[in-house]
């Protein structure tokens, strides 16, 4: 089969990949991608895609995609995962809503309560029509991300 994307590693890139594999202290996908790049290198073993996929227990498309990212985007991009074009889910509490949440959280709690609970904050955001609906868990995650403590 004619390969569309030809991987030709420089000596420096090959050495960097070998050091990455020798250490073994990185994400599993980076190790797999490093192994794939070394295996499909034209100046190295030059394995076919099906053999590489079988050896490193991945789909043949993974090998093709790593090759393509190496040729089109470079060495570092080939080691990383493919970046998402758009997030899979839209955030409920975005920047502006987050600011409103923090201002409510920093305000005085309702009468009869010593402090805000996550569910009370969620209910207040809905009452203020900041969001249509939100759970206490989402409010908690947002506040945790901003390092805001209610105590």
Whose CA is closest to 4, among 66, 80, 70, 64?
64
Identify the pLDDT of residue 45: 93
Q: What is the pLDDT of residues 73-114, one digit of tens each?
A: 999 999 999 888 888 888 899 989 999 999 999 999 999 999
Average pLDDT, the chain: 92
Sequence-distant (6+) residues with CB within 8 A of 6 are 42, 67, 71
- Predicted TM-score (pTM) of the model is 0.65
> Residue for token digits 């040729």?
71
Identify the pLDDT of residue 64: 96
SS3 76: helix
Q: Where are the domains of the chain?
A: 11-79, 95-145
């Amino acid at each position: 089969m004619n390969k569309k994307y030809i991987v030709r590693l420089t000596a420096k890139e090959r050495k960097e990949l070998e050091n990455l594999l020798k250490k073994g202290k990185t994400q599993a996908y980076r190790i797999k991608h490093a192994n794939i790049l070394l295996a499909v290198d034209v100046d190295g073993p030059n394995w076919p895609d099906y053999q590489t996929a079988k050896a490193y227990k991945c789909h043949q498309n993974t090998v093709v995609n790593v090759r393509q990212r190496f040729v089109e985007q470079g060495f570092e991009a080939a080691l990383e995962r493919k970046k998402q074009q758009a997030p899979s889910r839209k955030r409920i509490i975005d920047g502006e809503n987050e600011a409103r949440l923090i201002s409510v959280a920093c305000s005085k709690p309702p009468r009869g309560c010593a402090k805000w609970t996550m569910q009370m904050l969620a209910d207040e955001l809905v009452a203020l029509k900041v969001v249509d609906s939100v759970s206490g868990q989402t409010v908690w995650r947002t506040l945790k991300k901003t390092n805001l403590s209610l105590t």
